Chains A and B, each alone.
Chain A
Amino acid sequence: MKLTAEKNGTALTVHLSGELNTLTAPELSTLLDKELGGVQELTLNFAECDYVSSAGLRILLATFKKMKASKGSMVLANVGENFMDVLSNTGLDAVFDIQ
C-alpha cells in the first residue's frame, strides 16, 4: 500500500493507494500516529483504495474516536463501491462522514 500525507496547517489529507488489509493497516496506523498531532481536519482519500478489511476499519474507528475526542473532524473521501458496501454492512456509514 502506498500512503501520501499532505499537511496544510491543521488540515491533514492522506491519500491511500492499494489494499487496506491486515498486512498494510499497521502502515496507516504508524503514519497517523506520526502526523496526527495538532490536526483538526483529517481527510482520508480512498480514490485509489477500494479494499478495506476489518483491520482497516479498526484503525478508522480508533482514529475517528481520537479526532472526536480532540473536537476535530475526519472525512472519508472518494469512497468506492466495495468500500461503501463494507461501510453500509457494518453500519459505519452512519458513523463516519463520507463525502
Chain B
Amino acid sequence: MKEENVLRIPAKLEGMDVILAFVSYLLDTHGCTPKARTQLRMAVEELYVNVTLYAYPSGEGWAEIRGSIEDGVATFCLIDGGTPFDPLAKPDPDILLSGEERGIGGLGIYMVKSMVDEVEYAYRDGCNQLTLKKQL
C-alpha cells in the first residue's frame, strides 16, 4: 500500500527549508539518484515559493505538502487554500532570446516542467493542488 506523508505549515518563505527537508527525507529514506533529488527539490522550491508569494493576498495562510514513493516513482502534491491560480497556464518564456532581450523572471515554472516527468494543476475542495511526478 502506498504510504503518504503529509506536512502542513504556514505559507511563509522561511518555511522553504522545512518543505525541502521533507522532500529530501522522503527521497533519502527510499533511495534516489543525486540528480533526481536535486531536480525534485528545485521543482518543489519553485512551486512553494509561488504559494508564499501569491496564494494569500493577506499574507496569512497555510501550505501543505504530501509525498509518496511507489514503484520507483515519487509523487509530491503541494496544496494551498488561497486564491485559485493555475501557474502552469502561463505561456512558456522564449528561451531563445539573447541576454539583453530577456526579462529577468518567468523561468521558475518553466524549470519545473523540465525537471519532472509530470506536473498537473487542479482546483479541488477550495484548494489549489499541484502534483509532481518523477521516476527515481
Report the separation of the CA atoms of residues A25 and B115 in the bound assembly, to the nearest whole angstrom.
20
In the complex, whether A81 has a CB less than 8 A from a CB of chain B is yes
Q: Which residues of A lie under 8 Å from residue B108 when comparing CB positions?
A: 53-55
Q: State the Cβ distance, B53 to closest chain A Cβ, in Å.
A: 10
Q: Which residues of A lie under 8 Å from residue B46 when comparing CB positions?
A: 53-54
What residues make up the interface of A, taking CB atoms closer than 8 Å to B? Answer: 21-23, 50-51, 53-55, 57-58, 61-62, 64-65, 68, 81-82, 85-86, 89-92, 94-96
B45/A53 in contact, CB under 8 A:
yes
A51/B38 in contact, CB under 8 A:
yes
A54/B99 in contact, CB under 8 A:
no
Q: Which residues of A lie under 8 Å from residue B110 when comparing CB positions?
A: 89-90
Contact flag A62-B98 (CB < 8 Å), given A50-B38, A53-B45: no
- In the complex, per-residue mask of B94-109: 1 if CB is within 8 Å of any chain A CB, else 0: 0111111010110110
Contact flag A90-B105 (CB < 8 Å), given A54-B111, A65-B100: no
Name the residue among A50, A68, A95 with the largest chain B CB count within 10 angstroms. A95
- In the complex, per-residue mask of B49-83: 1 if CB is within 8 Å of any chain A CB, else 0: 10000000000000000000000000000000000
Q: State the Cβ distance, A79 to closest chain B Cβ, in Å.
A: 14
What residues make up the interface of B, taking CB atoms closer than 8 Å to A? Answer: 13-14, 16-17, 35, 38-39, 41-42, 45-46, 49, 93, 95-100, 102, 104-105, 107-108, 110-111, 114-115
A68/B100 in contact, CB under 8 A:
yes
Pick 26 A–B contacts, CB within 8 A, sort by A: A21-B45, A22-B49, A23-B14, A23-B16, A23-B17, A51-B42, A53-B111, A58-B105, A61-B99, A61-B104, A62-B104, A65-B100, A68-B99, A82-B35, A82-B38, A82-B39, A89-B95, A89-B114, A90-B93, A90-B110, A90-B111, A91-B95, A92-B95, A95-B98, A95-B99, A96-B99
Report the separation of the CA atoms of residues A10 and B39 in the bound assembly, to the nearest whole angstrom.
36
